[in-house]
Structure 1
Amino acid sequence: MTEKTTSLAGEGNERPEAVTGNSSAVPDRARARALFERLAELPEGDPERQRIRDQLVELHLPLVEYLARRFRNRGEWLDDLIQVATIGLIKSIDRFDLGRGVEFSTYATPTIVGEIKRHFRDKGWAVRVPRRLQELKLSLTKAISDLAQREGRAPTVSELAAHLQMSEEEVLEGLESANAYSTVSLDAPDSGDEDAPAVADSLGMIDESLEGVEYRESLKPLLEKLPAREKKILLLRFFGNMTQSQIAAELGISQMHVSRLLARTLAQLRDGLTADE
């Protein structure tokens, strides 16, 4: 069964000797050396090179899995981590030089670990969300791009729902989950509305502590208490990247009304965050 990872863990910084000290992860070093010696003798383009390369990959898969498991508590599927780690293994095989005077497993370990860390930097989510929502976010991103190109404007929630054959509630859920992948800066301008102020301007005086994780967590219950329309407006504006004019068209109200509701709701959230200070 595929193992799913769930929380933060260490990042594989042990010395390679310690890592490969695990008996189940230690490859047959004598066989590995013999394979690398044979590989060095073969000319480029020789079909036997690929066969030996495949044997080296298979021989070191226990090491790959062992290193991947060290990152199993960071919100990624273990199978995905093993695939990423295997890429690091293949890079190590292609770059390894017997003349370095080190065992291959010692040489490969930092490369494999580095590949896994790069995966988290490039693809990681700010907070852990279920894979279903991650896939939904990816589907929405593609749908928004396709519909925007076709229509010449940002699609509405109802258009996205029809395009993806899902409910509007599921679309909104996916848009909200996108905040776990990338956050919106409070200093960013209210793009799409000419001469619009930065988001932070709607909050009154800038509160530096709003950048803290504890405030993001505190926002969750406040958002749940909002009326359905105000919550939808926030989701469409900050998670759906829709302009105030587009939101107005979606909800059938004026752009000025949307602006007032946004300002009032943001002020309400700010008051809720600072009430206990």
Structure 2
Amino acid sequence: MAAVDRLAMYDKKEQTLANARIEEFAPLVKRIAFHMMMRMPASVQVDDLIQAGMIGLIEAAQKYDSSKGASFETYAGIRIRGSIVDEMRRGDWAPRSVHRNSRRIAQAIKAVEARTGRDARDAEIAEELEVDLDEYFSMLQDSNSSRLYSYEETFGEEDSNIDASETSSAFASPFEGIQREGLKKALAEAITQLPERERMVLALYYNEELNLKEIGLVLGVSESRVSQIHSQAAARLKSRLSGWQR
């Protein structure tokens, strides 16, 4: 068999394998999309996330290299999340008012904690903002989706067996890599300083990948309360990591 024929046969086999992976792991895209919906503004539809995630899955199926040591599911999960985050960043789905409220909340938390020397409470933050609790929680939910860093971007792509150049958020320069490493350490430290319930929600959501309902059952609270706690944790982290925000 000629070399060109062997190459064509190899390419066909690789494409068949890639297509099989896409079909097998399509449900993973849906699961990740629904999982990430909690941090998106109301204007974003889950179908938008699924569409972006499918692009990541297709790229993963075409570029996966088993010799790197990571399973395809791990690699695909990274590409899917990265593709969704990139699409949201390009579209900038949050209106200006959401960005403005996000800054106001972070500033209010910082002011309360500087004044009291402890973690700011819901009622105190609302009072600082001069709004009632319901309005504060509504602002929290919207602003959560617009924060200037992403837990997935910082931790979700870390796998020693995966070449960073193969991910959608590869470093543009050595300096950017240093900055990212510094942010990782600062964020990890800030998370350890969160109130216990906020730390638990982050751990259950990001590490254990539980959904709102499952976390609510663990904590004995409603899904909406879990969402509020998550949003509060994100806002608190944003206020404490203001020096890292671009």
TM-score bucket of the superposed structures, by smaller chain: 0.3 to 0.5
TM-score, length of structure 2 as denominator length: 0.34
Higher RCO structure, 1 or 2 (CA under 8 Å, sep 6+): 2
TM-score, length of structure 1 as denominator length: 0.30
> Which structure has the larger Rg over C-alpha atoms?
1
Higher fraction of helix: 2
